[in-house]
Structure 1
Amino acid sequence: MSDAGSSIAGGAARGRSRSFGCISNVPAAGGNDAVFLRAGPDDEMYVRADKIDLKNLDVQLEKKRSQVWLEHQRSASPRPEALLLEWEIDLAKLDIQNQIAHGTFGVVYRGTYDGHDVAVKVLDWGHDGQDTATRHREAFEKEVAVWQKLDHPNVTKFVGASMGTSQLRIPRRGSTSSGGGGGGRAVPNECCVVVVEFQHGGTLKTLLYNHRDKKLSYKKVVRLALDLARGLSYLHSKKIMHRDVKAENMLLDRKRRLKIADFGVARVEAQSSEVTGLTGTLGYMAPEVLQGKPYDHKCDVYSFGIVLWETYCCAMAYANHSLADISYHVVKLGNRPDIPRSCPRALSDIMTRCWDQRPDNRPEMSEVVALLEKIDTSSGKGGMTPTHAYDVAQGCSCFGFNRGA
């Protein structure tokens, strides 16, 4: 081979070596003769073409190219989606629309999920610090695993939840829909999402307010009380405390059937630990809760007694009283809302038993259900009809404290 031919072969080999990446591993054609040699005025390194197995080199080069292509395809292709947990929703199917309520930990929106009307509660626990947010999320994950298994006609149906919010879009203020095009505002990573069935009848609180003058019939009062009692009895049978039983958290469907909602502070009752701390809403808290003492599911029974009074009176208990006033009268004096004289004895007895100062004296919700089922409302009598001058002037005697709880 001429010098020119050697230079061409050497250049070709160098070109291949750059593509292959490791010319020192190229096998020689035969024996242990040197594959590399130095030549030229600058003592450059050349490769002896007659010592290179070009066929084997091409095979190895093709393997390398195939490997590079495969790695590229893997990196370019999206990873398969992680399998959803039993209670997790597919955020791609969720369309959040207008805001309908807000609270301490989050905002509630109306929307649709997979074509069905739903209420979407977006919980934000990031403002209390990362440690607190992490604890909230861990507790949330454990409890939704329980909530998704609940099935009762008087408990709002749990649709699903999500711990991730990367695909979640909240409509901008004034907008009625997220539009499906990602035009809404993003939410913090600390958020969690709870989706429940939407109830078209509004809240019990709104119903009572709308009947503040005319009041509800006795039959409707007992029916609503039975719905709430049955729902709470079911939750307690599952070792679940609601801890925030109030008229605002009771929803109504199109047929005015009551359904318990808003499990934001609900807790699975632990048999080996005591629950303490101010949890709930002022006016509905049991004395032991107000005092920060250990409490159990009987705190829900107390709150039921207050809601029963409100349903009969179509008024809010302690509407114009401060925390100090309520704590003093409820805890220290044992006072309760004033029961109207027109209230039937069967109903007033349930109220007073449920809001007894001592939790052990309060009935189980299953007993309350039985007591309400015995009430005869067929005659239509027993409604809240003011018969005294004071009752007529005030609308009802529902705005004070009554001694003798």
Structure 2
Amino acid sequence: MSVLLLVRVSRCRPEVDIVVAPCQGFQSAEVTLGEYVNHFLPVITFAISEAELSTLDVNELQEIKEKFSLPVFFFKVPNLGAELISPQNAENEKSSLYRQLLDLGYLSTNHCSCGAPSSDAKAQSMLVEQSDKIRLLSTFSRQVLQQRLVDAATVLNLVHCRCLDIFINQAFDMQRDLQITPKRLEYTRKKENELYESLMLIANRKQEEMKDMIIETLNNMKEELLEDAANMEFKDIIVPENGEPISSRDVKCCIKQIQELIISRLNQAVANKLINSVDYLRESFVGTLERCLKSLEKSQQDVTVHITSNYLKQILNAAYNVEITFHSGSTVSRMLWEQIKQIIQRITWVSPPAITTEWKRKVAQDAIESLSASRLAKSICSQFRTRLYISHDAFAASLRQLEAGHSGRLEKTEDLWLKVRKDHAPRLARLSLESRSLQDVLLHGKPKLGRELGRGQYGVVYLCNAWGGHFPCALKSVVPPDEKHWNDLALEFHYMRSLPKHERLVDLHGSVIDYGYGGGSSIAVLLIMEQLHRDLYTGLKAELTLEIRLQIALDVVEGIRFLHSQGLVHRDIKLKNVLLDKNSRAKITDLGFCKPEAMMSGSIVGTPIHMAPELFTGKYDNSVDVYAFGILFWYICSGQVKLPEAFERCASKDHLWNNVRRGVRPERLRIFDEECWQLMEACWDGDPSQRPLLGIVQPTLQNIMDRLCGSNSAPLNKGLDDST
């Protein structure tokens, strides 16, 4: 017999319904369970009166497991006349009922012989064969309900994280669109103008070459043309074989067909040579332009602009695929037709001539000799220039229309990008923090605060002996003072938790929201992280050796490079945010200002002496971390925590920032190695584009370490440490 404890949750109070399944012959327990499982949180108990499960019981339990996969509280009912409390089995003795449930998959090997799950197990089925252990039903019910809460919190957190990742990816796409589209438009305009000017230059300079080319072509083709004309068979004209004359009308048709033969052959030869002179331009310019136009077309939603973009491509084909025009023969045809009309006017006869081979050759020769190569070349170049100008003007007009359409779209994109960064993503991040914290507190409980390890501007760090299977831990307690700090903290948690584990980053174990922090009404977020030995500030005060300091510098660069590879910018690299383990290996911590580039709003954040000058402009990228490392490296090489004199002389933070913008940097100390000093100067260069990539900094540091900390490193280390 199975009994369902159905928990009904309402806003006012939870309610419990007890449902007893009918007899097996009337309706199975799995059918009864199916009627309620979608609307309630079921806690299933299965009472067994015999020493073993019957075949019907086994079948019923198999169906329940296959359809619902829910834990079950199995209770052995004492037989009538038996003692109220049945004697326990021996410690290692397992009942046949236990073995049956083990075979069915309800119990597992981490259950004790009595059928109760181990203390660290999740909500699992439980077997109770002694009457006095019926009280375990309460524990079982709590486990089932808690596991349901954990599952719900897990699913909810997955949804929050997935949606947040989508928003962040969309922010990347929008940022790229805002950066790339204006550059594509400018590139398209520039390249088309270069192409236009190059083609116009060809048109202006090619006239004399074209004249020589036409003369050469005619001379080379003359005999072939005369022979083809002499052997020509006329269409739709009957030429008497006995040499009798034909009508004047037929003579004109014959002359016209000879003309068309010369035109088509000459046109093909001239066009091919002209095309060769501009082919390299079409290949180098038009392909790039068309790819650029396609990308602009894809990012534009307005159908009318799609038509404009298609028109731009048609203009390109009309203007630059010149073989289409020249192959058609229109340009040369018009010129030759004028020449042929003059030939016809010069031909005089008393009576219509006989159409003989000699006559056809004579007509073709007169036509060829009367052609003016200079006039043909001039006309071709003139029409070429006219066509180019018209196409270029139409292209520019269409590009302006396309640019106007993108301008409106980009304004909307920028507004949406701002909403994603300022509103949508932070709100989702906070929901993600809350759902994950609920999941963590349900699974591992609230952490216990130990002694204080340190404190910063926004939080206190405590020792936490153990939590969630990790020990010891460091617990960062933060009480966000306003909505902005809540959002920043939530995003920090999301980025830290989303990152793959890396040995150069402090590992985040989990989070818990304490709604009664300090025994009051404050709400604090407790971030549980791995505990390290000390920070770099404390380490430098303890006079670390040069070799250890250079290894720390390498560790920091490795950690920053990993963050950058994940699309993140730390924005607050400093002594206090570099933690050291017992072996003095470094890990980066505190991602409070860490964000993807696409999510950065241009706000001024960081620690003043480590802040790059471009931070004050609101437009910066991940090179600000390279600048901050340069300042950090100054401390590492100096082996001290004392401020550089250039910064110590500043009366205020604003004074310091103004000096940094004007190019003031830490002074060179006499103990600095030349290569170390050059690396510092390169990293804190005022021009972000001139700062070295971290992929270059890392091997440079390794070479410095190999050189300074080789077999003769002991005296050098001693000298440096003594001087500091």
TM-score by length of 1: 0.64
1:370 equivalenced with 2:696 (yes/no): no
> Match of 1:113, as an amino acid?
W
What is the aligned partner in structure 2 of residue 330 from structure 1? 660
Q: How does 1:214-363 map to 2 (within 5 A)?
A: 216-270=544-598, 275-289=601-615, 291-313=616-638, 314-317=640-643, 318-319=647-648, 321=650, 322-332=652-662, 334-363=663-692
Is the CA contact 1:109–1:120 (under 8 Å) kept in the aligned structure 2?
Answer: yes
- For 2:554 and 2:588, the matched residues in 1 are separated by 12
1:188 equivalenced with 2:543 (yes/no): no
What is the aligned partner in structure 2 of residue 198 from structure 1? 531
- For 1:155 and 1:315, the matched residues in 2 are separated by 23
Is the CA contact 1:143–1:268 (under 8 Å) kept in the aligned structure 2?
Answer: no
1:165 equivalenced with 2:499 (yes/no): no
Equivalent residue of 1:120, what SS?
Answer: strand
Q: CA offsets, 1:155-211, max 9 Å, x none?
A: 11111123x324x755xxxxxxxxxxxxxx24623x3222110002x1100111232
Hey, which of these two has a bigger chunk of helix by percent? Answer: 2
> What's the CA shift for 1:249?
1.0
> What's the CA shift for 1:72?
4.3
Q: Which of the two has higher C-alpha Rg?
A: 2
Alignment partner of 2:494 out of 145, 157, 173: 145
What is the aligned partner in structure 2 of residue 103 from structure 1? 456
Is the CA contact 2:473–2:528 (under 8 Å) kept in the aligned structure 1?
Answer: yes
Is the CA contact 1:244–1:265 (under 8 Å) kept in the aligned structure 2?
Answer: yes
Equivalent residue of 2:525, what SS?
Answer: strand
> What's the CA shift for 1:266?
1.5
Is the CA contact 2:535–2:576 (under 8 Å) kept in the aligned structure 1?
Answer: yes
> Match of 1:246, as an amino acid?
K
Is the CA contact 2:492–2:593 (under 8 Å) kept in the aligned structure 1?
Answer: no
> Match of 2:479, as an amino acid?
D
- For 2:553 and 2:521, the matched residues in 1 are separated by 38
Query: Against the structure 1 CA distance between its residues 94 and 101, is the aligned structure 2 distance closer, same or farther, given a 3 Å change threshold?
Result: same
Query: Against the structure 1 CA distance between its residues 102 and 143, is the aligned structure 2 distance closer, same or farther, given a 3 Å change threshold?
Result: closer
> What's the CA shift for 1:242?
1.1
Q: CA offsets, 1:329-349, max 9 Å, x none?
A: 2112x1211121231122111
- For 2:631 and 2:540, the matched residues in 1 are separated by 13
- For 2:539 and 2:563, the matched residues in 1 are separated by 24
- For 1:368 and 1:151, the matched residues in 2 are separated by 23
Query: Against the structure 1 CA distance between its residues 319 and 249, is the aligned structure 2 distance closer, same or farther, given a 3 Å change threshold?
Result: farther
- For 2:476 and 2:506, the matched residues in 1 are separated by 13
Query: Against the structure 1 CA distance between its residues 94 and 278, is the aligned structure 2 distance closer, same or farther, given a 3 Å change threshold?
Result: same
Query: Against the structure 1 CA distance between its residues 139 and 331, is the aligned structure 2 distance closer, same or farther, given a 3 Å change threshold?
Result: closer
Equivalent residue of 2:473, what SS?
Answer: strand
- For 1:369 and 1:316, the matched residues in 2 are separated by 26
> Match of 2:511, as an amino acid?
A
Query: Against the structure 1 CA distance between its residues 95 and 329, is the aligned structure 2 distance closer, same or farther, given a 3 Å change threshold?
Result: same
TM-score by length of 2: 0.37
Equivalent residue of 2:540, what SS?
Answer: helix
Query: Against the structure 1 CA distance between its residues 345 and 383, is the aligned structure 2 distance closer, same or farther, given a 3 Å change threshold?
Result: farther
Is the CA contact 1:165–1:187 (under 8 Å) kept in the aligned structure 2?
Answer: no
List gaps (5 residues or longer) in structure 1. Answer: 1-66, 171-184, 387-391, 397-405
Which stretch shifts more, 93-102 or 149-158?
A: 93-102
Q: CA offsets, 1:345-396, max 9 Å, x none?
A: 221111111100011111122221121112222131654847xxxxx9xx56
List gaps (5 residues or longer) in structure 2. Answer: 1-7, 9-13, 18-40, 42-137, 159-435
- For 1:346 and 1:383, the matched residues in 2 are separated by 16
Which stretch shifts more, 274-283 or 245-254?
A: 274-283
- For 2:456 and 2:617, the matched residues in 1 are separated by 22
The RMSD of aligned alpha carbons is 3.1
Is the CA contact 2:630–2:681 (under 8 Å) kept in the aligned structure 1?
Answer: yes
- For 2:504 and 2:521, the matched residues in 1 are separated by 32
1:83 equivalenced with 2:413 (yes/no): no
- For 1:94 and 1:293, the matched residues in 2 are separated by 39
Equivalent residue of 1:121, what SS?
Answer: strand
Alignment partner of 1:73 out of 2, 12, 16: 16
Query: Against the structure 1 CA distance between its residues 330 and 384, is the aligned structure 2 distance closer, same or farther, given a 3 Å change threshold?
Result: farther
1:207 equivalenced with 2:539 (yes/no): yes
> Match of 2:682, as an amino acid?
R
Is the CA contact 2:578–2:589 (under 8 Å) kept in the aligned structure 1?
Answer: yes
Equivalent residue of 2:610, what SS?
Answer: coil
Alignment partner of 2:445 out of 75, 78, 92: 92
> What's the CA shift for 1:152?
1.4
What is the aligned partner in structure 1 of residue 400 from structure 2? none
Q: How does 1:56-71 map to 2 (within 5 A)?
A: none
> Match of 1:146, as an amino acid?
Y
Aligned length in residues: 290
- For 1:282 and 1:199, the matched residues in 2 are separated by 26
Equivalent residue of 1:305, what SS?
Answer: helix
1:120 equivalenced with 2:120 (yes/no): no
> What's the CA shift for 1:275?
3.6
Query: Against the structure 1 CA distance between its residues 205 and 320, is the aligned structure 2 distance closer, same or farther, given a 3 Å change threshold?
Result: farther
Hey, which of these two has a bigger chunk of strand by percent? Answer: 1
Equivalent residue of 2:658, what SS?
Answer: helix
